[in-house]
Amino acid sequence: NHLDRIAEVDDRVHAFLQVDTEGALAEAAASDERRAAGRPLSALDGVPIAVKDVLATRGLPTTCGSKILEGWVPPYDATVVRKLREAGLPILGKTNMDEFAMGSSTEHSAYGPTHNPWDLDRIPGGSGGGSAAAVASYEAPLALGTDTGGSIRQPGAVTGTVGVKPTYGGVSRYGLVALANSLDQVGPVTRTVEDAALLHELIGGHDPLDSTSIDAPVGDLVGAVRAGQSGDLSGVRIGVVKELGGEGYQPGVLARFQESVDLMVGAGAEVVEVSCPSFVHALATYYLILPAEASSNLAKFDAMRYGLRVVPEGSPSAEEVMRATRDAGFGDEVKRRIILGTYALSSGYYDAYYGQAQKVRTLITRDFDAAFGQADVLVSPTAPTTAFKLGEKLDDPLAMYLNDLATIPANLAGVPGISVPSGLADEDGLPAGVQVLAPALADDRVYRVGAALE
Ligand code: GLN
Protein backbone atom coordinates (compact mmCIF):
# COMPACT_ATOMS: atom_id res chain seq x y z
CA ASN A 1 0.00 0.00 0.00
CA HIS A 2 2.78 2.42 0.83
CA LEU A 3 4.60 1.65 -2.43
CA ASP A 4 1.32 2.34 -4.27
CA ARG A 5 0.96 5.60 -2.40
CA ILE A 6 4.51 6.58 -3.34
CA ALA A 7 3.76 5.80 -7.00
CA GLU A 8 0.60 7.91 -6.74
CA VAL A 9 1.96 11.08 -5.13
CA ASP A 10 5.74 11.21 -5.09
CA ASP A 11 6.16 12.79 -8.51
CA ARG A 12 4.50 15.82 -6.87
CA VAL A 13 5.90 15.59 -3.33
CA HIS A 14 9.40 14.32 -4.20
CA ALA A 15 10.06 12.97 -0.74
CA PHE A 16 12.19 10.10 -2.07
CA LEU A 17 15.51 10.11 -3.90
CA GLN A 18 15.44 6.34 -4.20
CA VAL A 19 12.66 3.77 -3.78
CA ASP A 20 13.68 0.15 -3.13
CA THR A 21 10.52 -1.64 -4.27
CA GLU A 22 12.12 -5.07 -4.52
CA GLY A 23 13.94 -4.90 -1.21
CA ALA A 24 10.90 -3.60 0.65
CA LEU A 25 8.58 -6.25 -0.77
CA ALA A 26 11.05 -9.04 0.04
CA GLU A 27 11.37 -7.83 3.63
CA ALA A 28 7.59 -7.52 3.97
CA ALA A 29 7.16 -11.08 2.68
CA ALA A 30 9.76 -12.32 5.17
CA SER A 31 7.84 -10.62 7.97
CA ASP A 32 4.57 -12.20 6.78
CA GLU A 33 6.27 -15.61 6.86
CA ARG A 34 7.51 -15.06 10.40
CA ARG A 35 3.98 -14.11 11.43
CA ALA A 36 2.41 -17.12 9.68
CA ALA A 37 4.95 -19.48 11.27
CA GLY A 38 4.26 -18.05 14.72
CA ARG A 39 7.87 -16.97 15.15
CA PRO A 40 8.74 -14.07 17.48
CA LEU A 41 8.11 -10.62 16.00
CA SER A 42 9.67 -7.30 16.93
CA ALA A 43 7.36 -4.45 18.02
CA LEU A 44 7.56 -2.92 14.54
CA ASP A 45 7.98 -6.11 12.49
CA GLY A 46 6.77 -5.57 8.93
CA VAL A 47 6.12 -1.84 9.40
CA PRO A 48 7.74 -0.01 6.47
CA ILE A 49 10.11 2.88 7.03
CA ALA A 50 11.80 5.61 4.97
CA VAL A 51 15.43 6.50 5.70
CA LYS A 52 17.08 9.91 5.28
CA ASP A 53 19.73 9.70 2.57
CA VAL A 54 22.51 10.69 4.98
CA LEU A 55 22.51 7.22 6.59
CA ALA A 56 24.58 4.48 5.00
CA THR A 57 22.53 1.64 3.54
CA ARG A 58 24.39 -1.37 2.19
CA GLY A 59 23.64 -1.91 -1.49
CA LEU A 60 21.44 1.20 -1.72
CA PRO A 61 22.92 4.48 -3.04
CA THR A 62 23.55 7.12 -0.36
CA THR A 63 23.97 10.63 -1.74
CA CYS A 64 23.44 13.03 1.21
CA GLY A 65 21.55 15.12 -1.36
CA SER A 66 24.88 15.93 -3.04
CA LYS A 67 26.24 15.46 -6.53
CA ILE A 68 29.61 14.64 -5.03
CA LEU A 69 28.25 11.32 -3.74
CA GLU A 70 26.17 10.49 -6.81
CA GLY A 71 26.43 6.78 -7.49
CA TRP A 72 28.13 5.91 -4.20
CA VAL A 73 26.82 2.63 -2.81
CA PRO A 74 27.93 2.03 0.79
CA PRO A 75 29.47 -1.37 1.53
CA TYR A 76 27.97 -1.33 5.05
CA ASP A 77 24.86 -0.37 7.01
CA ALA A 78 24.67 2.39 9.61
CA THR A 79 24.01 0.85 13.02
CA VAL A 80 20.46 2.25 13.05
CA VAL A 81 19.81 0.74 9.61
CA ARG A 82 21.17 -2.63 10.74
CA LYS A 83 18.76 -2.46 13.70
CA LEU A 84 15.84 -1.74 11.37
CA ARG A 85 16.74 -4.73 9.23
CA GLU A 86 17.16 -7.01 12.25
CA ALA A 87 13.75 -5.96 13.56
CA GLY A 88 12.13 -6.74 10.18
CA LEU A 89 11.17 -3.22 9.03
CA PRO A 90 11.02 -3.06 5.22
CA ILE A 91 13.05 -0.05 4.02
CA LEU A 92 10.97 1.77 1.42
CA GLY A 93 13.81 3.96 0.21
CA LYS A 94 15.99 6.98 0.87
CA THR A 95 14.54 10.42 1.45
CA ASN A 96 15.49 13.81 0.06
CA MET A 97 17.42 16.34 2.11
CA ASP A 98 19.38 19.56 1.93
CA GLU A 99 22.89 18.79 0.73
CA PHE A 100 24.87 17.28 3.64
CA ALA A 101 21.96 18.31 5.91
CA MET A 102 22.68 22.03 5.53
CA GLY A 103 19.41 23.89 5.30
CA SER A 104 15.86 24.33 6.55
CA SER A 105 13.86 23.77 3.37
CA THR A 106 15.36 20.88 1.28
CA GLU A 107 15.90 23.48 -1.44
CA HIS A 108 19.65 22.90 -1.10
CA SER A 109 19.26 19.31 -2.33
CA ALA A 110 21.20 18.78 -5.56
CA TYR A 111 18.24 16.68 -6.77
CA GLY A 112 15.50 19.31 -6.53
CA PRO A 113 13.34 20.30 -3.55
CA THR A 114 10.71 18.30 -1.69
CA HIS A 115 7.24 19.84 -1.60
CA ASN A 116 5.12 20.21 1.53
CA PRO A 117 2.10 17.87 1.25
CA TRP A 118 -0.09 20.55 2.90
CA ASP A 119 0.66 22.98 0.06
CA LEU A 120 2.91 21.88 -2.77
CA ASP A 121 4.17 25.45 -3.32
CA ARG A 122 5.68 25.47 0.15
CA ILE A 123 8.79 24.01 1.78
CA PRO A 124 8.55 20.87 3.96
CA GLY A 125 11.29 22.15 6.27
CA GLY A 126 14.80 20.84 6.31
CA SER A 127 17.18 19.42 6.19
CA GLY A 128 15.05 16.30 6.62
CA GLY A 129 12.12 17.57 4.56
CA GLY A 130 11.97 14.32 2.62
CA SER A 131 11.45 12.17 5.72
CA ALA A 132 8.82 14.55 7.13
CA ALA A 133 6.96 14.86 3.80
CA ALA A 134 6.99 11.07 3.32
CA VAL A 135 5.30 10.62 6.69
CA ALA A 136 2.92 13.58 6.30
CA SER A 137 1.79 12.37 2.85
CA TYR A 138 1.17 8.80 4.09
CA GLU A 139 3.91 7.47 1.80
CA ALA A 140 5.57 6.00 4.89
CA PRO A 141 4.27 5.44 8.42
CA LEU A 142 7.73 5.95 9.92
CA ALA A 143 10.97 7.61 8.90
CA LEU A 144 14.44 8.25 10.25
CA GLY A 145 15.88 11.74 10.30
CA THR A 146 18.95 13.46 11.71
CA ASP A 147 18.96 16.61 13.79
CA THR A 148 22.06 18.81 14.01
CA GLY A 149 20.29 22.12 14.59
CA GLY A 150 16.63 21.20 14.10
CA SER A 151 16.44 19.03 11.00
CA ILE A 152 14.03 16.55 12.58
CA ARG A 153 11.98 18.94 14.70
CA GLN A 154 11.50 21.89 12.32
CA PRO A 155 10.32 19.72 9.38
CA GLY A 156 8.03 18.00 11.89
CA ALA A 157 6.52 21.34 12.89
CA VAL A 158 5.86 22.58 9.35
CA THR A 159 4.43 19.26 8.08
CA GLY A 160 2.25 18.46 11.11
CA THR A 161 4.28 15.40 12.09
CA VAL A 162 6.12 14.30 15.21
CA GLY A 163 9.92 14.51 15.35
CA VAL A 164 12.33 13.59 18.11
CA LYS A 165 15.94 14.54 18.65
CA PRO A 166 17.23 12.10 21.28
CA THR A 167 19.87 12.93 23.90
CA TYR A 168 23.25 13.34 22.20
CA GLY A 169 24.87 9.90 22.30
CA GLY A 170 21.57 8.12 22.88
CA VAL A 171 21.36 6.78 19.32
CA SER A 172 24.39 5.56 17.38
CA ARG A 173 25.91 7.86 14.76
CA TYR A 174 27.92 5.04 13.18
CA GLY A 175 27.20 5.14 9.45
CA LEU A 176 25.70 8.63 9.61
CA VAL A 177 27.65 10.86 7.22
CA ALA A 178 28.66 13.52 9.71
CA LEU A 179 27.67 17.15 9.31
CA ALA A 180 28.88 18.30 12.74
CA ASN A 181 29.91 15.40 14.96
CA SER A 182 29.35 17.17 18.28
CA LEU A 183 25.77 18.16 17.32
CA ASP A 184 24.37 15.36 15.09
CA GLN A 185 21.71 12.95 16.38
CA VAL A 186 19.60 10.35 14.57
CA GLY A 187 15.93 10.22 15.55
CA PRO A 188 12.34 9.23 14.68
CA VAL A 189 9.93 11.02 12.35
CA THR A 190 6.37 9.74 12.79
CA ARG A 191 2.69 10.67 12.88
CA THR A 192 2.18 9.90 16.56
CA VAL A 193 4.25 10.23 19.73
CA GLU A 194 3.70 6.54 20.46
CA ASP A 195 5.17 5.53 17.08
CA ALA A 196 8.19 7.72 17.81
CA ALA A 197 8.71 5.98 21.16
CA LEU A 198 8.51 2.53 19.57
CA LEU A 199 11.05 3.52 16.92
CA HIS A 200 13.32 5.29 19.43
CA GLU A 201 13.43 2.19 21.66
CA LEU A 202 14.40 0.17 18.61
CA ILE A 203 17.24 2.38 17.33
CA GLY A 204 18.57 3.63 20.68
CA GLY A 205 21.17 2.17 22.99
CA HIS A 206 24.91 1.77 23.28
CA ASP A 207 27.02 1.10 20.20
CA PRO A 208 30.71 0.24 20.57
CA LEU A 209 31.22 1.50 16.99
CA ASP A 210 30.38 5.09 18.03
CA SER A 211 32.84 6.54 20.53
CA THR A 212 30.32 9.15 21.73
CA SER A 213 27.57 6.60 22.27
CA ILE A 214 26.32 6.60 25.87
CA ASP A 215 26.45 3.33 27.73
CA ALA A 216 23.00 3.60 29.32
CA PRO A 217 19.70 1.87 28.61
CA VAL A 218 17.19 3.69 26.36
CA GLY A 219 14.55 3.59 29.08
CA ASP A 220 10.84 2.86 28.96
CA LEU A 221 9.74 5.43 26.41
CA VAL A 222 6.50 3.66 25.47
CA GLY A 223 5.64 3.56 29.18
CA ALA A 224 6.23 7.32 29.33
CA VAL A 225 3.84 7.77 26.39
CA ARG A 226 1.19 5.77 28.25
CA ALA A 227 1.63 8.03 31.27
CA GLY A 228 1.19 11.10 29.06
CA GLN A 229 -1.82 9.65 27.25
CA SER A 230 -3.67 9.46 30.57
CA GLY A 231 -3.82 13.25 30.30
CA ASP A 232 -2.50 13.75 33.82
CA LEU A 233 0.51 16.01 34.18
CA SER A 234 0.11 16.80 37.86
CA GLY A 235 3.46 17.29 39.56
CA VAL A 236 5.18 18.19 36.29
CA ARG A 237 6.84 21.62 36.20
CA ILE A 238 6.83 23.20 32.74
CA GLY A 239 9.22 26.04 31.96
CA VAL A 240 8.23 28.47 29.22
CA VAL A 241 11.49 29.86 27.82
CA LYS A 242 11.19 33.62 27.72
CA GLU A 243 13.81 34.01 24.95
CA LEU A 244 12.06 31.54 22.58
CA GLY A 245 8.95 33.45 21.61
CA GLY A 246 7.68 36.97 20.96
CA GLU A 247 9.42 39.05 18.33
CA GLY A 248 10.05 37.26 15.05
CA TYR A 249 7.44 34.58 15.74
CA GLN A 250 4.27 34.41 13.65
CA PRO A 251 1.13 35.35 15.67
CA GLY A 252 -0.70 32.16 14.66
CA VAL A 253 2.24 30.03 15.80
CA LEU A 254 2.28 31.84 19.15
CA ALA A 255 -1.49 31.46 19.54
CA ARG A 256 -1.26 27.67 19.05
CA PHE A 257 1.69 27.56 21.46
CA GLN A 258 -0.33 29.39 24.12
CA GLU A 259 -3.10 26.81 23.68
CA SER A 260 -0.56 24.05 24.25
CA VAL A 261 0.53 25.74 27.47
CA ASP A 262 -3.11 26.07 28.55
CA LEU A 263 -3.62 22.39 27.79
CA MET A 264 -0.71 21.46 30.06
CA VAL A 265 -2.13 23.65 32.83
CA GLY A 266 -5.48 21.92 32.33
CA ALA A 267 -3.70 18.57 32.71
CA GLY A 268 -2.44 19.65 36.13
CA ALA A 269 1.07 20.84 35.23
CA GLU A 270 2.63 23.79 36.98
CA VAL A 271 3.83 26.41 34.49
CA VAL A 272 6.69 28.81 35.25
CA GLU A 273 8.55 31.28 33.05
CA VAL A 274 12.29 30.64 32.80
CA SER A 275 14.99 32.82 31.32
CA CYS A 276 17.94 31.52 29.31
CA PRO A 277 19.76 34.75 28.42
CA SER A 278 22.55 33.07 26.41
CA PHE A 279 20.05 31.54 23.98
CA VAL A 280 20.06 34.79 22.00
CA HIS A 281 23.64 33.90 21.02
CA ALA A 282 22.82 30.30 20.06
CA LEU A 283 22.47 30.95 16.34
CA ALA A 284 25.79 32.82 16.09
CA THR A 285 27.51 30.12 18.15
CA TYR A 286 26.08 27.35 16.01
CA TYR A 287 27.13 29.01 12.76
CA LEU A 288 30.76 29.01 13.93
CA ILE A 289 30.89 25.52 15.46
CA LEU A 290 28.90 23.81 12.71
CA PRO A 291 30.89 25.16 9.73
CA ALA A 292 34.15 24.44 11.60
CA GLU A 293 33.24 20.78 12.09
CA ALA A 294 31.60 20.49 8.66
CA SER A 295 34.58 21.92 6.77
CA SER A 296 36.80 19.35 8.41
CA ASN A 297 34.37 16.48 7.74
CA LEU A 298 33.90 17.42 4.09
CA ALA A 299 37.65 17.36 3.43
CA LYS A 300 37.32 13.61 2.86
CA PHE A 301 35.49 14.23 -0.43
CA ASP A 302 38.72 14.51 -2.34
CA ALA A 303 37.74 12.86 -5.66
CA MET A 304 39.84 9.82 -4.76
CA ARG A 305 37.78 7.93 -2.23
CA TYR A 306 34.07 8.29 -3.01
CA GLY A 307 31.60 9.16 -5.73
CA LEU A 308 32.24 11.87 -8.27
CA ARG A 309 35.61 12.49 -9.96
CA VAL A 310 36.01 15.34 -12.44
CA VAL A 311 39.25 15.19 -14.42
CA PRO A 312 40.17 18.43 -16.21
CA GLU A 313 41.73 18.18 -19.67
CA GLY A 314 45.46 17.73 -20.12
CA SER A 315 47.54 16.08 -17.41
CA PRO A 316 46.01 17.51 -14.26
CA SER A 317 47.67 17.16 -10.88
CA ALA A 318 45.85 15.52 -7.95
CA GLU A 319 45.10 19.01 -6.59
CA GLU A 320 43.53 20.06 -9.88
CA VAL A 321 41.32 16.95 -9.94
CA MET A 322 40.32 17.63 -6.36
CA ARG A 323 39.52 21.27 -7.07
CA ALA A 324 37.49 20.51 -10.19
CA THR A 325 35.57 17.74 -8.40
CA ARG A 326 34.76 19.80 -5.34
CA ASP A 327 33.82 22.78 -7.51
CA ALA A 328 31.37 20.68 -9.56
CA GLY A 329 30.23 18.37 -6.74
CA PHE A 330 29.35 20.79 -3.92
CA GLY A 331 26.47 23.27 -4.02
CA ASP A 332 26.61 26.91 -2.95
CA GLU A 333 25.48 26.42 0.66
CA VAL A 334 28.09 23.72 1.23
CA LYS A 335 30.81 25.92 -0.24
CA ARG A 336 29.66 28.85 1.89
CA ARG A 337 30.02 26.78 5.07
CA ILE A 338 33.39 25.31 4.06
CA ILE A 339 34.68 28.85 3.63
CA LEU A 340 33.15 29.99 6.94
CA GLY A 341 34.52 26.96 8.77
CA THR A 342 38.05 27.07 7.43
CA TYR A 343 38.15 30.80 8.18
CA ALA A 344 36.93 30.31 11.76
CA LEU A 345 39.55 27.60 12.33
CA SER A 346 42.48 29.36 10.67
CA SER A 347 45.45 30.35 12.78
CA GLY A 348 45.07 33.86 14.17
CA TYR A 349 41.25 33.63 14.09
CA TYR A 350 40.75 30.38 15.98
CA ASP A 351 40.58 31.98 19.43
CA ALA A 352 38.44 34.91 18.30
CA TYR A 353 35.82 32.75 16.56
CA TYR A 354 35.90 29.02 17.25
CA GLY A 355 37.31 29.32 20.77
CA GLN A 356 34.84 32.06 21.64
CA ALA A 357 31.93 30.02 20.27
CA GLN A 358 32.93 27.07 22.46
CA LYS A 359 32.80 29.36 25.51
CA VAL A 360 29.33 30.61 24.62
CA ARG A 361 28.29 27.00 24.07
CA THR A 362 29.20 26.37 27.71
CA LEU A 363 27.09 29.35 28.80
CA ILE A 364 24.13 27.95 26.89
CA THR A 365 24.57 24.59 28.61
CA ARG A 366 24.68 26.38 31.97
CA ASP A 367 21.44 28.22 31.12
CA PHE A 368 19.84 24.83 30.52
CA ASP A 369 21.18 23.49 33.83
CA ALA A 370 19.74 26.49 35.69
CA ALA A 371 16.40 26.25 33.88
CA PHE A 372 16.13 22.54 34.62
CA GLY A 373 16.55 23.44 38.27
CA GLN A 374 13.26 25.31 38.03
CA ALA A 375 11.35 23.07 35.63
CA ASP A 376 11.23 19.40 34.58
CA VAL A 377 10.82 20.26 30.90
CA LEU A 378 11.12 23.43 28.82
CA VAL A 379 8.67 24.37 26.08
CA SER A 380 8.60 26.75 23.12
CA PRO A 381 7.23 26.94 19.60
CA THR A 382 9.37 24.58 17.48
CA ALA A 383 9.81 27.00 14.59
CA PRO A 384 9.04 30.72 14.41
CA THR A 385 6.78 30.41 11.35
CA THR A 386 4.73 27.93 9.38
CA ALA A 387 5.99 26.60 6.03
CA PHE A 388 7.12 29.41 3.74
CA LYS A 389 6.94 29.44 -0.05
CA LEU A 390 9.56 27.60 -2.09
CA GLY A 391 12.18 30.13 -3.24
CA GLU A 392 11.19 32.73 -0.63
CA LYS A 393 14.38 32.53 1.46
CA LEU A 394 16.71 30.77 -0.96
CA ASP A 395 18.83 33.84 -1.69
CA ASP A 396 18.96 35.01 1.91
CA PRO A 397 21.05 32.62 4.04
CA LEU A 398 20.43 34.57 7.25
CA ALA A 399 16.65 34.42 6.84
CA MET A 400 17.01 30.68 6.25
CA TYR A 401 19.18 30.23 9.36
CA LEU A 402 16.60 32.02 11.54
CA ASN A 403 14.19 29.08 11.19
CA ASP A 404 16.30 27.19 13.71
CA LEU A 405 16.30 29.85 16.40
CA ALA A 406 14.34 27.69 18.83
CA THR A 407 15.76 24.27 17.96
CA ILE A 408 19.54 24.96 17.97
CA PRO A 409 20.09 25.42 21.75
CA ALA A 410 19.19 21.76 22.38
CA ASN A 411 21.89 20.56 19.94
CA LEU A 412 24.52 22.81 21.49
CA ALA A 413 23.75 21.33 24.92
CA GLY A 414 23.07 17.76 23.79
CA VAL A 415 19.62 17.62 25.41
CA PRO A 416 16.62 15.74 23.96
CA GLY A 417 13.63 17.41 22.31
CA ILE A 418 10.37 16.55 20.62
CA SER A 419 8.16 18.53 18.26
CA VAL A 420 4.45 17.75 18.40
CA PRO A 421 1.77 19.36 16.18
CA SER A 422 0.04 22.22 18.02
CA GLY A 423 -2.65 22.94 15.43
CA LEU A 424 -3.07 25.14 12.36
CA ALA A 425 -2.11 28.81 12.33
CA ASP A 426 -5.07 31.16 11.74
CA GLU A 427 -3.29 33.27 9.09
CA ASP A 428 -2.60 30.47 6.63
CA GLY A 429 -4.18 27.24 7.90
CA LEU A 430 -0.77 25.57 8.00
CA PRO A 431 0.58 23.33 10.78
CA ALA A 432 2.61 24.67 13.70
CA GLY A 433 4.58 22.73 16.30
CA VAL A 434 5.30 22.85 20.01
CA GLN A 435 8.71 21.77 21.25
CA VAL A 436 9.39 20.02 24.57
CA LEU A 437 12.98 19.81 25.86
CA ALA A 438 14.32 17.78 28.79
CA PRO A 439 17.68 17.27 30.52
CA ALA A 440 20.16 14.86 28.93
CA LEU A 441 19.09 11.23 29.37
CA ALA A 442 15.57 12.24 30.45
CA ASP A 443 14.12 11.48 27.01
CA ASP A 444 11.17 9.82 28.75
CA ARG A 445 9.98 13.27 29.89
CA VAL A 446 9.65 14.61 26.35
CA TYR A 447 7.56 11.55 25.49
CA ARG A 448 5.32 11.91 28.53
CA VAL A 449 4.60 15.59 27.96
CA GLY A 450 4.53 15.16 24.17
CA ALA A 451 1.88 12.44 24.44
CA ALA A 452 -0.23 14.65 26.71
CA LEU A 453 -0.11 17.39 24.06
CA GLU A 454 -1.36 15.15 21.24
N1 GLN B 1 18.95 24.10 9.36
C2 GLN B 1 20.11 23.87 10.16
C3 GLN B 1 21.35 24.01 9.31
O4 GLN B 1 21.21 24.40 8.22
C5 GLN B 1 20.02 22.51 10.81
C6 GLN B 1 20.45 21.42 9.95
C7 GLN B 1 20.35 20.08 10.60
O8 GLN B 1 19.82 19.91 11.69
N9 GLN B 1 20.93 19.11 9.92
O10 GLN B 1 22.44 23.75 9.73
Supply the pLDDT for residue 313. 96
Ligand 1: does its nearest atom lie under 6 Å from the Cβ of 117?
no
Distance 407 CA to ligand 1 centre (A): 10
Instruction: Express each pLDDT in 181-194 by its tens digit.
Output: 999 999 999 999 99
In percent, how much of the chain has pLDDT > 70?
A: 100
Supply the pLDDT for residue 360. 98
In percent, how much of the chain has pLDDT > 90?
A: 98
Q: Domains for the chain: give ranges and CATH numbers.
A: 2-281+358-453 (3.90.1300.10)
**In a 10 Å sphere around its CB, with 0-12 CB exposed, 13-18 middle and 19+ buried, how is residue 207 labelled?**
buried
Radius of gyration of the chain (CA): 21
Q: Which of 278, 238, 275, 281 is nearest to 257 (CA)?
A: 238
* pLDDT above 90 for 316: yes
> Which protein residue's CA is at the shortest distance from atom 10 of ligand 1?
102
Ligand 1: does its nearest atom lie under 6 Å from the Cβ of 290?
yes
Give the Cα-Cα-Cα angle 366, 369, 372 (nearest 5 degrees).
Answer: 150
**Is 300 in the active site?**
no
* pLDDT above 90 for 67: yes
Supply the pLDDT for residue 387. 98
Is cis: bond before 127, omega within 30 of 0?
A: yes
* pLDDT above 90 for 239: yes
Instruction: Express each pLDDT in 263-305 by its tens digit.
Output: 999 999 999 999 999 999 999 999 999 999 999 999 999 999 8
Supply the pLDDT for residue 43. 97
Supply the pLDDT for residue 276. 98
Ligand 1: does its nearest atom lie under 6 Å from the Cβ of 150?
yes
Supply the pLDDT for residue 273. 98
**β partners of residue 380:** 435
* pLDDT above 90 for 234: yes
Distance 341 CA to ligand 1 centre (A): 15
Distance 33 CA to ligand 1 centre (A): 41
Instruction: Express each pLDDT in 410-438 by its tens digit.
Output: 999 999 999 999 999 999 999 999 999 99
Instruction: Express each pLDDT in 83-131 by its tens digit.
Output: 999 999 999 999 999 999 999 999 999 999 999 999 999 999 999 999 9
Instruction: Express each pLDDT in 349-383 by its tens digit.
Output: 999 999 999 999 999 999 999 999 999 999 999 99
Burial 321-343 (b: 16+ CB within 10 A, else e): bbebbbeebbbebbeebbebbee
**Is 165 in the active site?**
no
Query: 246 pLDDT band (50/70/90 cuts)?
Result: confident
Query: 306 pLDDT band (50/70/90 cuts)?
Result: confident
- Rounded average pLDDT over 209-218: 96
**Is 31 in the active site?**
no
Q: In whole angstroms, what is the distance from residue 228 CA to residue 439 CA? A: 18
Supply the pLDDT for residue 402. 93
Supply the mean pLDDT for the chain.
Answer: 97
- Rounded average pLDDT over 44-73: 97
Give the Cα-Cα-Cα angle 84, 90, 122 (nearest 5 degrees).
Answer: 95
DSSP assignments along 294-355, one per residue: HHHHGGG-SSSSSS-----SSS--HHHHHHHHHHHHS-HHHHHHHHHHHHHHSTTTTIIIII
